[in-house]
Amino acid sequence: MKFKVILMGKSKNLTAQAEQVYGFINSNLQDEDATGSTVLLVTKEADPSFALNQAPTDNVERVRVGDYHPETILKGLQKLEAAGDTDLYLFPFGVLADEVAVRWACRINGSSLVQVKSIHRSRTEFQAKKAVYANHVMATFRMTRRPYCISLSKDGIAAASIPIREKASIEEHDLSELHADRPSNSEWMPEEPASDLESARFLVVGGRGMGSAGACRELEKKANSIGADFGASRPVVMSAWAHMHRLVGASGSIAKPDLCIAAAVSGAAAFYVGIANSKKIIAINSDDRAPILKAADVVIVEDYKVIMDALAKVILEAKADEKA
């Protein structure tokens, strides 16, 4: 099986994406007949030497394109892949990767799946697994048309560090004439999140049970006062009680803190994937039927507000005692 990894050199998540792809290759494509290379798409603004080290295979095709618009990437792939001898296209996690994987499969008459967690190959079949039913159920699909185009799931795949070593081969392609016709009157509004929830060590997450934007702000303040970052479930951000950057779950941050306190969170599976990698989960919810209570290490069936107030007092007193 011949596979190709497609990476965008300018992606803000390049390292995380590449390490996850490398982990995926290690656990899914290690048999003798699997040979892979990386198509690394760069623009003149990107740092090619840094990006090159992130390639998860020893053979690399470094391709300079005009921009990272999906149409540009698709046109680039069309030029590069005229031979049609690739069996599997492997895209990293992310919205752009999902889009290109599906559209590329359409254009080359292949099959596609996005947010894939693992694959299984036999002589006659290619199967891939992904979460469905809002992350309650794992589905296996038989992909019926080669080439297979898949993008990876952001959660559930162990990343692996890529050893820095000289690449066996580096092919250079200049397709910088390729670019998309962007609307002339577009405006880019960059947003820097106040904190990176994916690297937080101590996280407090608030759910719909908080009841109001005011209660949400109070819990955020309380979390910060005890040294925790603050995240929110999807119903909370959809009600605009918290900024979208605070979203924890399948469509937001996948956190892996040492300690996570889930306050007034029901624990829908799509939310839970965002905290599933926590070392310890403490759930506080007054509803004793909330699913989070079976998926936590410690459960407290009480009003989250009174418990958080009391806990903050205990933690702050303990810190004050230590100082004294």
Name which of residues 136 to 165 contact other proteins (CB under 8 A): 136-145
Nearer to other proteins, 182 or 221 (CB): 182
Minimal distance, residue 59 CB to other proteins, in Å = 27
- Identify residues 167-226 at the interface with other proteins (CB under 8 A): 182-183, 185-191, 201-202
CB-CB contact of 261 with 284 (8 Å): yes
For residue 311, the one-letter residue type is L
- Identify residues 106-125 at the interface with other proteins (CB under 8 A): 106-107, 110-115
Minimal distance, residue 50 CB to other proteins, in Å = 17
Minimal distance, residue 4 CB to other proteins, in Å = 19
In eight-state DSSP terms, residue 253 is: B
Tokens representing residue 189 in the block: 């509004």
Nearer to other proteins, 174 or 309 (CB): 309
Beta bridge partners of 172: 62
Tokens representing residue 209 in the block: 């049970």
Which of 237, 254, 255, 264 lies at the binding interface for other proteins (CB under 8 A)? 237
For residue 230, the one-letter residue type is F
First to last CA, the chain: 65
Other C-beta atoms lying within 10 Å of the C-beta of residue 137: 10
Nearer to other proteins, 170 or 244 (CB): 244
> Which of the stretches 30-38, 48-56, 168-176, 316-324 binds other proteins when contact is defined by CB under 8 A?
316-324
- Identify residues 248-277 at the interface with other proteins (CB under 8 A): 251-252, 258-259, 266-270, 272, 276
Nearer to other proteins, 61 or 222 (CB): 222
Which of 35, 66, 81, 103 lies at the binding interface for other proteins (CB under 8 A)? 103
- In 3D, which of 46, 100, 92, 47 has the Cα closest to residue 69? 100
Orientation angle between helical segments 304-323 and 213-225, nearest 10 degrees: 20
CB-CB contact of 179 with 69 (8 Å): yes
